[in-house]
A = this chain, B = another copy of it.
Amino acid sequence: MRVSAKADYAVRAAAELAAADDDPVKGEKLAEAQDIPLQFLEHILLELKHAGIVRARRGAKGGYWLAREADEVTIADIVRAVEGPIAHVQSAPPESIEYRGNAEHLQEVWIAVRASLRTVLEHVTLADLVSGQLPSEVKALAAEPDAWVAR
């Protein structure tokens, strides 16, 4: 139930690309802007490229840019590209698991967990993120003072 460094880095780098608006940005510049180890970042960008989220060109004037418009890329797309499926249980999708005895309804709970993650991750786009104009449901969740206290 945690967010890896890789996913966090990936989203941050993608946010920088979204802000750069289609001109290629060098890996080194992304690394500096977001304080990410360059060589690690390059591996991440490669994964994003393989997932079809980012494009790249080498050489002078080279760099990375988004393959789609910033409002067509969600945080969920990026997290899935680097971390794999969201909210798997024991490495299997929750809809495929069968529970017995008194745990029968646990499947519904894990499904609800996944659904609730999706309502956030699939609705926030990179455009939302850089502009700060998050979808209203997401803003509402983050506006609760209680959401900011540790437990």
Contact B109 A113 (CB under 8 A): no
Stretch at the interface among A8-16, A38-46, A59-67: A8-16
Would you call the interface of chain A mostly helix, strand, loop, or mixed? Answer: helix
- Most B CB atoms within 10 A — which of A8, A83, A85, A113? A113
Q: How many Å from the CB of A83 to the closest CB on chain B?
A: 6
Known interface pairs A3-B87, A90-B8, A119-B116; A141-B111 also in contact (CB < 8 Å): yes
What are 24 contact pairs spanning A and B, CB under 8 A? A1-B1, A1-B3, A1-B87, A1-B117, A2-B89, A3-B89, A8-B89, A11-B106, A12-B106, A33-B101, A34-B100, A76-B151, A85-B150, A95-B149, A103-B129, A104-B132, A106-B129, A108-B134, A109-B129, A109-B134, A111-B142, A111-B147, A112-B120, A115-B142
A residues near B (Cβ < 8 Å) are: 1-5, 7-8, 11-12, 15-16, 18-19, 33-35, 75-76, 79-80, 83, 85-91, 93, 95, 99-106, 108-121, 124, 129-130, 132, 134, 138-139, 141-142, 144, 146-151
